[in-house]
Amino acid sequence: MLKTALSIAGTDPTGGAGTTVDLKVFQSRGVYGMSVVTSIVAQNTTGVQQVFDQPLEVVEAQLNSVYSDIVPDAVKTGMLASSDVMDVVRPYILKHRIPYVIDPVMVAKSGDDLLDEAGKTAVRYKLLDLATVATPNLPELERILQMTIETKEDIDKAGKMFVNEIGAQSVVIKGGHMEGDATDYLFTKAGCIELTAQRTPTHHTHGTGCTFGAVITAELAKGRTIEDSVRTAKAYITSAIINTPKLGRGNGPVNHFSYPLEDV
């Protein structure tokens, strides 16, 4: 039976991030994709030009439309622009205890804020405890945990806090903002697994976080383990960055068609 996945996030009219790219990724991994739009974002590879946050009743109506008809096999949240939106989303995640991936989007690649200050604090207490996998980058992680992360010891401390104190089943601490090889750290209660790939020198990395999380979501929807899902996501995003199509005048998107289709 065809598996399904739901993306709850903002949009990107140029196709590089948000629900727009999540649907591409789900399709590329052989999963039927659905989306609930939380914010309409006017953005491109050069930055964010304008944001319109959907009224809460519209977000909830979309969620009702999906869950009353096709309950997904896995769900991912990305851009949730406020604490109030999290209050709308949380009951659906809580009721349907399916695999849940949270990409706690706070700032766009261009540096533009995508989450208000109250939301940056609330995400820790309103969603992260429900996560099967959380995928923060280092700046997001520092904001959530209110700590500076500069060393491997800091990463170890942060990962253990996520699974032991915040309550997420697992967290992938992405090392894209650190020096050296591109090493990500998967923390579960069983310990830490390091996933390393050679760093590719490119500024075309728009939507890498969305893409990475969407692959994990698709694999979890198919019944894969957390570790296998994250390993597939790491291989997928590495290929997508190496083979970037070099579109746009700024930080261009990655290539969502470069990972082998037969490996679905």
Per annotation, catalytic residue among 45, 188, 205, 238: 205
Rounded Cα distance, 83 and 90, in Å: 10
Active site residue 207: yes
Active site residue 20: no
- 213 is known as an active-site residue: no
Which residue out of 3, 174, 222, 234 is catalytically annotated? 174
Residue 192 bears catalytic tag: no
Decide if 151 is catalytic.
no
Q: One of 175, 209, 213, 252 is an active-site residue; which one?
A: 209
**Catalytic: which of 159, 207, 213, 252?**
207
Name the DSSP class of 162: I
Selected catalytic residue, list 183, 210, 213, 252: 210
Point out the catalytic residue in the list 14, 188, 208, 238.
Answer: 208
For residues 45 and 14, the answer to whether their CB atoms sit within 8 Å is: yes
- Is 229:133 a contact under the CB 8 Å cutoff? yes
SS3 label, residue 198: coil
CA distance 35 to 65: 11
Distance, CA of 196 to CA of 261 (rounded, Å): 22
- Sign, Cα dihedral of 148, 154, 159, 160: negative
91, containing H or E segment: helix 83-95
Where do the H-state alpha helices sit in the chain? Answer: 18-28, 56-67, 83-95, 117-126, 138-145, 152-161, 208-221, 226-242
Residues 34, 66: contact at Cβ < 8 Å?
yes
Q: Is 209 annotated as catalytic?
A: yes
Kindly report the number of other CB atoms within 10 A of residue 145's CB atom. Answer: 18
Catalytic (active-site) positions: 174, 205, 207-210
